[in-house]
Structure 1
Amino acid sequence: MDQIDLAIKLGRKSSSSVSEWEKGKYTPKIGVLNDIAEIFGVSITDLMNKDLSSDDGIRDKVISMYDSLDANRQQAVYNFTKQQYNEQNNVIEFPAPTRTQVSVYGAVSAGTGEYLLDGTPELVDYDGAVPEHDFAVVVNGDSMEPTFEDKQIIFVKKTNEARNGQFVIADYDHQAFVKKFMRDEHGARLVSLNKKYPDMLIDEDHELSIFGVVVF
């Protein structure tokens, strides 16, 4: 750009001021410096502190080429630029927590048995790793705390049998529960981890069906 061209862009009638700036005789005032920075598309900080004579217009070329790319290629340019920036500045990025959706088949009580399993799944957001399972349910109540908390999603493998000490999903007198299955000299029963809830005896006076065991 000629001196007179710059002078005109700055609203001046002659190029004398521009010539004096280039010779180092005078320094433009801050407002003029800001105008010059805008004209040449650089930051005022770079204009005042950096040697821009080696800049062969790479920035403008990159921006021009970027604007001509389709959306997918623009995203690729951004990803590469971000990688270069992170490497230069020793930035370490940690992956975001994985979030997925699981099909939850109703609720099981960890309390008084007020909920029943139904056959209609509901897609629910879930953070974390999902183990291999056959179905998932949500816990309602606090009888299995601290292992299972209220509103926690738990994953289940289908089976109608359980080993001593396993956590089971069971239908007890037509209501669904998550409990610990125990069998010892005192007989078979469903046990709550929260001791304020009594054991649920398994005998001829109660109907029991096991849906599955909890997987972790």
Structure 2
Amino acid sequence: MNREMYLKELIEAKYGTVRNFSEQIKVPYTTVRSILERGVLNAKMENIINICKGLGITPEQLYNFEDSIVANISKVAVRLTEKRQNNVYKFAKQQYNEQKNVIKMPEPTPEPEYEEFELFGAVSAGTGEYLTDNKPEKVMYKGIVPEHDFAVIVNGNSMLPLFEDKQILFVKKTDEIRSGQIVVVDYDHQAYVKKFVRDEKSCRLVSLNKEYKDMPIDEEHDIRIYGTVVL
């Protein structure tokens, strides 16, 4: 990299184009372009001073460019492989951004807003609850409310660590469930939230907390599916 290349890169980095730069320092565009093409050493000192002022450097730095740290970096960089040149460029850009104090920080996550929904009683993550046809309770929820048909509240700890006691669940109504899904069901006239499992051994409702026994699905028990948990 010679003086003129160095000068042009400074101009484009700070002003975008040579024309914009010439307008800012009030030196004719043709004059600046001529200096870049014919050489700094052939330019008038008055024009060099104006150019250097616009770029925040001294004429001495420009004239002594061949001995400057930038020139020495360039001499070394051209001998590097492309991958290592990219590393040098990234580091130099990082240093420049730190110098200008424009390191981009991650944008803060917006505070979730409260939304209103209807809560239809409790489902058991333990010993059983009764979902009734009473008028649902209006509840405010902080966060994104997923698409759902009704909401319930967990009572108990049988679904830990997935669902905690008093956690609100949003449920999508369905008559068909697949093995592995988390479901809300009426089991022998009590409402539960459980994992539905069907395999070669049996069909059953499973608690994630292993302190609770599986609940078999067979002809001895009445079961009605309310829906699957979407959150």
Question: 2:220 aligned to 201, 205, 214, which one?
Answer: 205
Runs of 5+ unmatched residues, structure 1? 1-91
The residue aligned with 1:27 is none
1-side partners of 2:145 and 2:173: how far apart? 16
Normalized against structure 2, the TM-score is what?
0.52
The residue aligned with 1:184 is 199
What letter is aligned with 1:138? I
Question: 1:116 aligned to 105, 109, 130, which one?
Answer: 130
Seen in structure 2, the aligned counterparts of structure 1 residues 98 and 208 have a Cα distance that, compared at 3 Å, is: same
What letter is aligned with 1:118? T
Are the aligned partners of 2:112 and 2:144 in contact in 1 as well (CA < 8 Å)?
no
Seen in structure 2, the aligned counterparts of structure 1 residues 94 and 166 have a Cα distance that, compared at 3 Å, is: closer
2-side partners of 1:109 and 1:95: how far apart? 33
2-side partners of 1:159 and 1:208: how far apart? 14
Are the aligned partners of 2:119 and 2:139 in contact in 1 as well (CA < 8 Å)?
yes
What letter is aligned with 2:178? R
What letter is aligned with 2:229? V
The residue aligned with 1:131 is 146
- What percentage of residue pairs aligned between the two structures are identical? 62
Tell me the secondary structure at the aligned position of residue 183 of structure 2.
Answer: strand
Q: Which has the higher helix share?
A: 2
The residue aligned with 2:57 is none
The residue aligned with 2:23 is none
Structure 1 position 185, deviation (Å): 1.2
Tell me the secondary structure at the aligned position of residue 123 of structure 1.
Answer: strand
1-side partners of 2:166 and 2:108: how far apart? 32
1-side partners of 2:205 and 2:140: how far apart? 30
Runs of 5+ unmatched residues, structure 2? 1-106
Question: 2:167 aligned to 152, 172, 177, which one?
Answer: 152
Normalized against structure 1, the TM-score is what?
0.55
What letter is aligned with 1:116? Y
Question: 1:174 aligned to 183, 189, 201, which one?
Answer: 189
Aligned ranges for residues 88-103 of structure 1 at < 5 Å?
95-103=110-118
2-side partners of 1:206 and 1:97: how far apart? 42
1:5-57 CA-to-partner distances (Å, cap 9, x unmatched) read: xxxxxxxxxxxxxxxxxxxxxxxxxxxxxxxxxxxxxxxxxxxxxxxxxxxxx
The residue aligned with 2:211 is 196
Aligned ranges for residues 43-82 of structure 1 at < 5 Å?
none
